[in-house]
Amino acid sequence: MRLMYTLIAALFVVFNAHAAALPSSVRDALQQAHIPLDGIGLEVYEVNARKPLISINATQAMNPASTMKLLTTYAALDILGPAYTWKTEAYLDGELKDGVLQGNLILKGYGDPKFTIEQFWLWLSELRARGLREIRGDLVLDRSFFDLPAHDPAAFDNDPVRAYNVGPDALLLNFNTLRLRYLPDGNTLKIISEPPLDGIRLDNQFTPQTASHPSKGDCDKWDDAIRVQPDGDSVILQGGYPSECGEREQNLSVMPHTRYVEAVFRALWQELGGTLRGKLREEVVSSNAQLFATHLSDPLSTVIHDINKFSNNVMARQLFLTLGVAGNATTSITRSTAAMQQWLNKQRLDFPELVLENGAGLSRTERISPHSMALLLQSAAAHPLSAELQSSLPILGVDGSVKKRLKESAAASHAHLKTGTLEGVKTIAGYVRSQGGKEWVVVFFINHPNAKYGQAAQDALVEWLQGR
């Protein structure tokens, strides 16, 4: 019993020694936010140092939110390489003669995370240039490369039209989103939708709201007063749009992947002078089909830039699934999780508390400790491709998800930080360069009901490190 008390006392002393090393500005900010020390996990290392400068609750498994993307993107850089590209294939199942295909056009996807509408238009233009004009069969989509359970976009937060809730898909097009731009004009409201969607109708039931002096807070939360509801081949828009707030836009997901691809294809194909007589079908590429054209994606180095700078969840999901390919005909979450664990073992990174669900951090179950995240960043700093990973992170006060943080501080431009935010979770992880020329690894997780008020504490730590 005495031994147990001695151990507890020793741990208490160690804990308080680390807690005492916490800068007073950080402690004060946590107190003002009513966040106790047991609601945070924090670790700070000088790059390449063996012992931390500060370590509080660092071995505790915590929800990292979107900082989990650091693990996914670093692993991808090492496993796949920065020049890795994804392909999307077009097959002809039938005879093509004089521009007429007596058969089906098959599109097969391999998980391209960033197949944009602009790239799709150029690729369809290439199909026309190769001699395809009229498709007398069906448009067939082969999405079999991802072996996934059905995705419920409402499962995470009961807001299924939000772009961040889009599920992964082997044939992901334009993030499966529709950009709606709202243009007030007196008592009317014009809506522009991009990309064009054949057969999809926008049902504008908005009631423009006018206010003589709208507050900044009202305009910041303008979308709280409107509702966008898919209804078959219609998109119903209801609520009171605050006209005095000017032009605004939203990126929303309003239909399943297959219907979205069909609607975009038909619109663009018609624009390019092509015709499609048949219907939409899902099917695996037949043995008789002939490869007609292949589209290659942007390289991985560009993809991880978008994932980390803008915290794109569906792109991170696509990348995470790609890690499970390894020569297989299909990939799955199970294969990707196993591939990640194998890679960690190879890197001699032992993260026993790690829990993976989708590699994006948009999860209630994913877990990693601040200590493991700090070790990951230390490993990345010593990697030959460290510059690629670090340049993909948002620059404090300059761009990405930290564009508006500490803009007027001396720390602006001196930190590359990935952020994460969920209900009850606020996290940062990355690198800070001090005015003395030192580079620091910083990981600061908050898992507490008041987490949303914890930004000031995180910013205070970054400023303190930059000033060392």
Q: Which residue has the tokens 């969920």?
A: 422
314 and 277 housed in the same domain: no
Q: How many domains does the chain have?
A: 3
Mean pLDDT, range 157-186, rounded to an integer: 94
The tens digit of pLDDT for each residue in 428-467 reads 999 999 999 999 999 999 999 999 999 999 999 999 999 9
pLDDT of 264 strictly over 50? yes
From residue 270, how far is each of 278, 302, 358 by CA, in Å?
14, 31, 37
The tens digit of pLDDT for each residue in 218-227 reads 687 888 878 8
176 compared with 328, residue with greater pLDDT: 176
Mean pLDDT, range 256-272, rounded to an integer: 97
324 and 263 housed in the same domain: no
217, 252, 287 — which closes off a domain?
252
379 and 292 housed in the same domain: no
Is residue 400 situated within a structural domain?
A: yes
409 and 348 housed in the same domain: yes
Confidence grade of residue 7 (pLDDT, cut at 50, 70, 90): very low
pLDDT of 3 strictly over 60? no
The CATH number assigned to the domain holding 119 equals 3.50.80.20
Is residue 375 situated within a structural domain?
A: yes
Residue type, 290: Q
Counting Cβ atoms within 10 Å, is residue 116 exposed (0-12), middle (13-18) or buried (19+)? middle
219 compared with 135, residue with greater pLDDT: 135
410 compared with 241, residue with greater pLDDT: 410
Residue 211: what pLDDT?
56
Residue 13: what pLDDT?
37
292 and 322 housed in the same domain: no
Residue 208 lies in domain: 178-252
239 and 362 housed in the same domain: no
279 and 420 housed in the same domain: no
Mean pLDDT, range 169-177, rounded to an integer: 98
CA angle 211, 213, 215 (to 5 degrees): 100
354 and 423 housed in the same domain: yes
26 and 141 housed in the same domain: no
Is residue 162 situated within a structural domain?
A: no
SS in 3 state form for the chain?
Answer: CHHHHHHHHHHHHHHHHHHHCCCHHHHHHHHHCCCCHHHEEEEEEECCCCCCCEEECCCCCECCHHHHHHHHHHHHHHHHCCCCCCEEEEEEEEEEECCEEEEEEEEEECCCCCCCHHHHHHHHHHHHHCCCCEECCCEEEECCCECCCCCCCCCCCCCCCEHHHCCCCCCCCHHHCEEEEEEEECCEEEEEEECCCCCCEEEEEEEEECCCCCCHHHHHCHHHHEEEEEECCEEEEEEEEEHHHCCEEEEECCCCHHHHHHHHHHHHHHHCCCEECCCEEECCCCCCCEEEEEEECCCHHHHHHHHHHHCCHHHHHHHHHHCCCCCCCCECHHHHHHHHHHHHHHCCCCCCCCECCCCCCCCCCCEECHHHHHHHHHHHHCCCCHHHHHHCCCECCCCHHHCCCCCCCCCCCCEEEEEEEECCEEEEEEEEECCCCCEEEEEEEEECCCHHHCHHHHHHHHHHHHCC
359: nearest Cα among 347, 341, 346: 341
Is residue 4 situated within a structural domain?
A: no
448: nearest Cα among 34, 44, 61: 34
Residue 216: what pLDDT?
55
Mean pLDDT, range 325-353, rounded to an integer: 93
The CATH number assigned to the domain holding 408 equals 3.40.710.10
Computed over every residue of the chain, the mean pLDDT equals 92
442 φψ region: left (φ > 0), alpha (ψ -120 to 50), beta (else): beta
